[in-house]
Every structure is written in structure tokens, then in C-alpha cells.
Amino acid sequence: MRIGFLGLGQMGAPMAERLLATDIELHVFDPRPEAMAPFVARGATAHASPRAVADQAPIVLACLPSGAASEDAALGPDGVVHGHAIRIHAEMSTIGRRAIEAIAQGLAAHDIALVDAPITGGPPGARAGTLAIMAAGPAAAVAALRPTLDRIGRSVFVLGEIAGQAQVMKLVNNLLVAANIVTAFEAFALGAKAGLDPDTMVELVNAGTGRSFASSEIMPVVLSGRFGFGATIAIMDKDVALGLEEARAQDVPMWAIEQAARVWRFATSQGAGAQDLSELARLMEGWAGTEIRSRPKH
């Protein structure tokens, strides 16, 4: 089975690694040769463009950092649309409904099916193979892609046959995560400033009604001082902006989430975009005049 993968970044690389198998001939592209080198060492074939990958693989998956990058990889001069082998293109990036609809329309003109297939679970989930994958597109294409998706994630949720439905679902998810992170950091900063032990706070919240992905998976990273969850502030800022764009298109008020969005936008505007999203806690700590870290046990 010949499969192509475009984008070997923080999310793409661990997903593509799960396709390194004896029954798969993996073809990869990333603009950084150093990102492709480990895959070549393990038997994959590196290519100079998305088009070259699509010349070899009937199924091509993409995990890219922006809508512009995804559109160029799909429809640009060296895009998969010009490939001779490709029949199904799975867009696993978070790029919003409008971008995915444009890609689907462009590919359909060349008889290439687009499956809208964003993922959630973060880099840890990608490495562990526990991602939840959303899928929307023609039923036959989703069915043909399903065995590949099952290798990458733990759960696949089919959301319909219209490209864009999975993107909206992913934005719903990420708006919740973005707001939860901001409110968790603010609340734990309050407790730390009042003298509560941060480890005890996190343990109690995770045993009670305040529990969220932010408290269970991201706060331990903050407590440790490692600040290495995997995704960046800029990526979350981008996803929140896409979510608010969709909300405006659907005429849905976002009073609370807009406040959280301002925090992500501020952090990015202050030059923190390339930092790990857990680093946002430092911003809250600075405002509160405290620190949310594990304390030495006596």
C-alpha cells in the first residue's frame, strides 16, 4: 500500500511514524530535509514536492501549519492536484471551513476526493497513537481512508459527507481547550498567590468538578517547570481566530471565548508565539505576582 505524507512537524512526524510498516510504502515531503532524513533512514522515500509524492501514492495525507500552506500543497504549481497516482487527499490540518472547501472544490475538478480529517490529542496523543480523528467527505473515500486513519489514532468520528464539517468540529474542540487553558492558569495563579500548594490544587481539581484537559494534561507540565507540552502559542492563537471567524459566519455570539482569545492574541503579539502553549502560564504568573510550581517536599 503506497501512502504519502506531507508535513513532518510536531504533529505530522509522530503520525507519519505510525505508517512506517512492512505493508506500507511511505512517501514523504517536508521543506526541511532534516525532517525527512529519519524517515528515509527507516525506509521511506523522500520527495522534492507534494506533487512528486502524489505521483507515487494514491492516498496522500497532509498535516501543515496554516491554511495557506495547505492550499499551496494541494492546489499550487507543485501541489498534489497535479499528481498522477493520487485519488484521495486527507487534510489533517486545522485550517477552517472556507480553506477546506476551496481545496475540496479544486481537487474535485481533477477527480481527487478530499477527506477533511483534523485531529485532536496534541503531540503526546500523536506519539502514543491515541488521537481522536474527525472525518468528513465522500463516504467511499472515508471508507477507503479508514484503515490508514486507524493506524494513526484510537478513535475516528465520521461527521458527514461535506468537507468543512470536521473542521468546524475541530474548532469547537479547540475553542473549548483554549478557553479552559486560560481560565485554568488564572484560577491556579489565584490559589498559588493565596498560599495553596499547587500540586494539591491540581490533584483536587482533577478529582472534582473543575477537571479539564488543561488541568489534567497541561498543568502537570507547568508544575514541573518543563513547559514542553508540544504545541505552540501561535498555533492555538491561529485556531482560536479561525473558530471566532466561523462563529461570526454562523452568527453565534462568543462573549466568553472572545475574552480568552484576547489573551492568546496578546501573548503572540508580545513575541511569545513560538513558545510552548504551556508558557502562557508565565504570563498569568507575571500579572498575579506568583508562581505555579511544585514545591519541595519537607
Instruction: List residues with catalytic annotation.
Output: 170
H-only helix segments in the chain? 12-17, 33-41, 50-54, 67-75, 97-108, 122-128, 139-152, 165-193, 198-207, 213, 219-224, 233-249, 255-267, 280-288
CA distance 35 to 32: 5
CA of residue 27 relative to chain centroid, distance: 21
C-alpha cell at 66: 496554516
Question: Phi, psi at residue 110, to the nearest 5°?
Answer: -115, 20
* Cell 478557553 -> residue: 179
Which phi and psi angles does 159 have, rounded to 5°?
-105, -5
Take residue 163 and report the three cell numbers written for it.
468537507
**Termini Cα distance of the chain:** 58
Question: Cell numbers at residue 187, please?
Answer: 484560577
CA distances to 35, 37, 146 from 5, in Å: 12, 14, 15
Of 2, 53, 56, 58, residue with least CA distance to 30: 53
Chain-centroid distance, C-alpha 218: 15
**How many Å apart are CA 253 and CA 220, to the nearest integer?**
32
Backbone region of residue 142 per phi and psi (left: phi > 0; alpha: psi in -120 to 50; beta: other values): alpha
